[in-house]
Chain A
């Protein structure tokens, strides 16, 4: 029963928002805004809360089981500290909340990303082989790009930069455009299938 109701709700919102695109009437635009802000935005925000509670639940379960217990406890402490700081000292300016973000979260997050530089270097040595003509094209494009985007203006001839720019603006862009069109067609058909109830995987398994 709820599966059918959910499908009807999905169709109603999908068809409505699709139809609203084609009208410029003030009442229609107002309805559009109401759905965006009052329904979509708010329900999405509450869904994120559900995700946070889910994480806490799983962490507590793992702590009880003794599975990576110290690490789970540290995660929960980190999670608790942030809202506590926000409640007592706010989130503006030089508050402890912003301090945690600036000196704990942001540095660690950017360092995790910086690790990728090392793995890219390792992959370049171990993985990038000109095994075939297409692979050679890939390597040539990569090397052209790396040379052109370094600041070796006096050493790297202008023709290398021009060639790299041409490759990026033409064959590379063409392939990316084809991928975009393909994804666009796929998204379009999937959206239609979802609204029309043909695609129902989001409803979960039928009992």
Chain B
């Protein structure tokens, strides 16, 4: 470890603070933000038996953040006896979505084919969104497991977006934009989203204009939602570490600026 640079100390500090915070395993009580409450209220308002599309539009890289978000949405939806159709517009979301749906369905004793179905992945996402607006069975003649669409009892009354209450896009990138621009614009499907924190400001204009019905996101959003549905999860567990990390970054910004201004003053003093 001969060549430790300043960045290594910064990395080490971050690692140390996060590890200690995680090891302490302290749970916080927190305020629920209005946007998380709005998402919760929306799903809560859907009558039992309503069909909802849950689209896993994310990659494996954001799994630590996406997983708590997806779990709270699925758990809430299953607890409300909603019928879920799982899809994926990104390849990696396919396997993750399949796993998460099965895992959560088992918690609520839901039966594949009756209570939920997983349709799988189509690579050209714009074509998939548009063709689902016309005909979901033609877009997905078979589900992810190879069952014919016609043989799935739950899907007998589902032809296109008119038969679906909402599309919940669980995204870490711009896929929700495509749902809004092609799904909501053309077919008037209600689009809601659970997104990673990095994408939240991207969707603010759509939220403000009503094109995106509701949205919540980030690990904090997942923790708030866990509080609302009364089930603990990794959202809540990560809150202390998240807060400590934020304070660490703020201190680094302040420290960096103090050093900068001092150096600048010295240079001006010298010149």
Cβ of B134 < 8 Å from any Cβ of A?
yes
A124→B62 contact, CB < 8 A: no
Among the stretches A55-63, A68-76, A100-108, A193-201, the one at the interface with B is: A100-108
B256→A124 contact, CB < 8 A: yes
B10→A125 contact, CB < 8 A: yes
Give me the 5 closest cross-chain CB pairs, A-B, nearest first: A150-B243, A113-B61, A36-B131, A44-B124, A177-B205
Cβ of A163 < 8 Å from any Cβ of B?
no
Write the chain B residue with the least CB distance to A100: B95
Q: Which of B28, B145, B239, B253 contacts A128 (CB 8 A)?
A: B253
Complex Cα gap A70–B223 (Å): 44
Complex Cα gap A151–B226 (Å): 14
Please classify the interface of chain B as helix (H, G, I), strand (E, B), loop, or mixed, using the class held by over half of its residues: helix
Range class of the B interface residue count: 35 or more
* B30, chain A: closest CB distance, angstroms: 5
* A183, chain B: closest CB distance, angstroms: 10
Complex Cα gap A177–B61 (Å): 28
Cβ of B44 < 8 Å from any Cβ of A?
no
Cβ of B252 < 8 Å from any Cβ of A?
yes
B250→A176 contact, CB < 8 A: no
Contacts of A172 in B (CB 8 A): 201, 204
* B271, chain A: closest CB distance, angstroms: 18
A122→B11 contact, CB < 8 A: yes
Write the chain B residue with the least CB distance to A128: B253
Q: What sequence of 0s and 1s flags, for each residue 142-161 of chain A, a beta carbon within 8 Å of any chain B beta carbon?
A: 11001101111100000001
B250→A32 contact, CB < 8 A: no
Write the chain A residue with the least CB distance to B260: A129
* B43, chain A: closest CB distance, angstroms: 22
A118→B11 contact, CB < 8 A: yes
Tell me the A residues contacting B by CB distance below 8 Å: 21, 29-30, 32-33, 36-37, 40-41, 44-45, 48, 91-93, 98, 101-102, 105-106, 109-110, 112-114, 117-118, 120-122, 124-130, 139, 142-143, 146-147, 149-153, 161, 165, 168-169, 172-173, 176-177, 180
Please classify the interface of chain A as helix (H, G, I), strand (E, B), loop, or mixed, using the class held by over half of its residues: helix
Cβ of B255 < 8 Å from any Cβ of A?
yes
* A201, chain B: closest CB distance, angstroms: 21
* A96, chain B: closest CB distance, angstroms: 13
Cβ of B229 < 8 Å from any Cβ of A?
no
A150→B127 contact, CB < 8 A: no
Q: Which of A41, A129, A149 contacts B197 (CB 8 A)?
A: A149
B250→A29 contact, CB < 8 A: no
Q: What sequence of 0s and 1s flags, for each residue 92-124 of chain B, a beta carbon within 8 Å of any chain A beta carbon?
A: 100110010010000000000000000000111
A121→B14 contact, CB < 8 A: yes
Complex Cα gap A207–B61 (Å): 42
B127→A37 contact, CB < 8 A: yes
Complex Cα gap A149–B260 (Å): 27
With A105-B92, A122-B10, A127-B256 known, 12 other A-B pairs at CB within 8 A are A33-B138, A37-B139, A98-B95, A121-B11, A124-B256, A125-B10, A128-B256, A139-B257, A146-B249, A151-B242, A152-B243, A176-B202
Complex Cα gap A93–B131 (Å): 28
A150→B247 contact, CB < 8 A: yes
Q: Given the known A-B contacts A41-B123, A121-B10, are A126 and B256 also in contact in the complex, defined by CB atoms under 8 Å?
A: yes
Write the chain A residue with the least CB distance to B236: A151
Write the chain B residue with the least CB distance to A108: B60
A44→B62 contact, CB < 8 A: no
Contacts of B11 in A (CB 8 A): 118, 121-122
Q: Given the known A-B contacts A33-B134, A177-B205, are A151 and B253 also in contact in the complex, defined by CB atoms under 8 Å?
A: no
Contacts of A98 in B (CB 8 A): 95, 99
Q: Which of B99, B208, B223 contacts A173 (CB 8 A)?
A: B208
Complex Cα gap A180–B208 (Å): 13
Cβ of B59 < 8 Å from any Cβ of A?
yes
